[in-house]
Amino acid sequence: MKPLLNILFIASLLAACADAQPKPTLPSVDTTVVVLGSPIPVSEQESARAVVSLDAQRAPLAYQQIEDYLRTDSSVDIQQRGGGIMADISVRGASFEQTLVLVNGLRMDSAETAHFNLDLPIPLLTIERIDVLHGDGSTLYGSDAIGGVADVRTMKPADTALRFKAGAGSFGENEQAVLGSVVEKNWSDLLAGDREFSTGFMTDRDYRTENASNELRFASALGNSDLLFAGDDRTYGANQFYGPYVSWERTKGWFAALTQQINSSTQLSAAYRRHSDIFLLERSQPEGYKNQHVDDGFEGAVRDRRTLIKNLTLASGLEADMDHIVSTNLGQHSRNRGAGYAAVEWLQPERGSLSFGAREEVFDGGRSVFSPMISGTRWLSQKTILHASVGHGFRIPTYLDLYYSDPSTLGNPNLKPESAWNFDAGVSWFPKPEVAATVTAFYSRQHDTIDYTRASETDPWQASNLPGVQFKGIEASVAWQPRSTGRLMLSWTNLAGAQSALHGLQSEYVFNYPINNARIDWTQQVSRQVVLNTRLGVIQRFEKSPYAVWDVSVARQLGRFRPYLQLTNLSNTGYEEIVNVRMPLRGVVGGFEIVLAKPRSGS
């Protein structure tokens, strides 16, 4: 209780120095618009798919990293290898390689390995929200979307402003960030950068991360345009990350994307992504076992959405994706693929909806994958809605899965692509505008699931296809927004899997899933300007004991000077999200943000 009392005391001091300003308003929970997993934007009430929208601007100084937001969703499992760097993401028990990560709807998955899917080059302050789709998304988004999709959306600035942020804390933590925005009548620009250093909470767990981005939006005779450039650099000690070694790693990423609205119905997008990875198996032996990988990716898409007749919408698109890798370990490889998809959505307001979709993805060499889906809702009343969906997802192996080799891990060039049929059904209840509750049962039947297995601890991990992997479970959540300045989120997900697929072997990744995951996220405006956030997660992984992690943050949200305090793992829990990779104990980071904004015209 003492840490909590100290936090409340600090909150009262911050409130005492706050200037009188109006409270910010937040949308009611039943009007939140989601676009992920649906051919058209719909409200949370109308969505046939389970989608969670995480607002990154609700209390931006209360969260240290993108993983903190994702952990508030109980159907999302984050398996991190320490604070600030390398985290795997999975949804509904699917492996981390079966979750697709997007930025503004554009693919970010690395062709080398999905371990880098959350190495996003955009600074945290630029993120507006994170939409998470539970269940397959391959019909609309292609490969890797077997278990779910996470789409990170960058914000469009509202004012011309300049923001500086600086903080320090436990384990040699040192962080700085800057964000500048210019807003004019027909264009806006958002330039941002951040960096974070830590000496580490244990030997060889130090890290340094740097991110920078610039996003230009403008309107012309062609339509709305969005041009994004971003890059990141991450260096870290990788003690025990990939086996019993004191390792070291450095990754870099570059990303450039253009999204162009052609007309009211059609949009064109193109992007280039590059990722490099330098890995030392033994940090003390830089001339010993060393890998260097560089992969490049190009993607382009034309998407169209138009109303055919009243309440009937057709969404369609053509996509192309090209990957190439040059590696001292994996060799040189390239692959190309193209896809076409179409989805029809019938939406009758306050009565129900029905969606049909299909995708054909063709790979060089002539192989193709067909991914259909169907989903729908039925309104029993204005407060109670039934929803259900069926869909097919798939994933092609990464280059690491196919070709990697070191003393502890072996790839397999004969791997087959993964696929899965996913089913879910549930009910949502909206008794009041400020309350939303939902319960969904789901089932996933996978084929040729890729995992790393071994017969004993003395053997290396070997990439292999597992037959007969199945997951079934139930997820439940309640969102309550009692006032426009507060929000309480409760969620719980229960999972069961088919361990018989292992046939007596040990699993490195697939069966590290949480059989129970419960989350509480509460944000409360304690004064006109001060916000308090507390997050509690209780997790029980397969064949492991449950553990709890409690985080608390307090920050001033308005005014020019905005101090903040972030306390992580207040319960001082010793735990591992990846087997044999320890996570930090109790930590604290404190700092401030300075905001200089140009007054709006007429103010």
Residue 576 vs residues 76, 82, 548: alpha-carbon distances, Å:
16, 9, 11
603 is a domain residue = no
Please report the beta strands in 94-222, taking only residues with DSSP state E, as ranges in sequence order. Answer: 99-103, 106-107, 127-134, 148-154, 161-169, 173-183, 187-198, 207-220
What is d(CA 254, CA 123) in angstroms, rounded to the nearest whole number? 13
In a domain, 602, yes or no: no
Domain count, the chain: 1
List of residues 6+ apart from 13 with CB closer than 8 A: none
**402 within some domain:** yes
Dihedral angle of Cα 61, 118, 150, 482, to the nearest 10 degrees: -20
- Identify which of 153, 163, 155, 161 has the alpha carbon closest to the alpha carbon of residue 183: 161
In a domain? residue 365: yes
Give the integer Cα–Cα distance in Å for 535 and 572.
14
The answer to the question of residue 137 being in a domain is yes
Work out the angle at residue 94's Cα, subtended by the Cα atoms of residues 454 and 126, and round it to the nearest 5 degrees: 120
Can you give the pLDDT at residue 413? 95
The predicted pLDDT at position 517 comes to 98
Regions of the chain with pLDDT less than 50? 1-27, 30, 602-603
Q: 90 near 99, Cβ under 8 Å?
A: yes
**Integer distance in angstroms from the first to the last C-alpha of the chain?**
44
Q: How many contiguous H segments (helices) and E segments (strands) does the chain have?
A: 4, 38
Of 232, 198, 212, 238, residue with least CA distance to 84: 198
pTM of the predicted model as reported, rounded to 2 decimal places: 0.91
- 3 state SS of 15: helix
Domain presence at residue 241: yes
CA angle 121, 592, 534 (to 5 degrees): 80
The DSSP output letter for 120 is -
Which CATH number characterizes residue 75's domain? 2.40.170.20
Q: What is the pLDDT of residue 506?
A: 87
Q: Is residue 157 part of a domain?
A: yes
The pair of three-digit structure tokens given for residue 302, joined into one six-digit string: 């034309």
Rg (CA), the chain: 23
Output the pLDDT for position 1.
42
Cβ 192 vs Cβ 126: under 8 Å: yes
Domain limits at 287?
Answer: 2-597
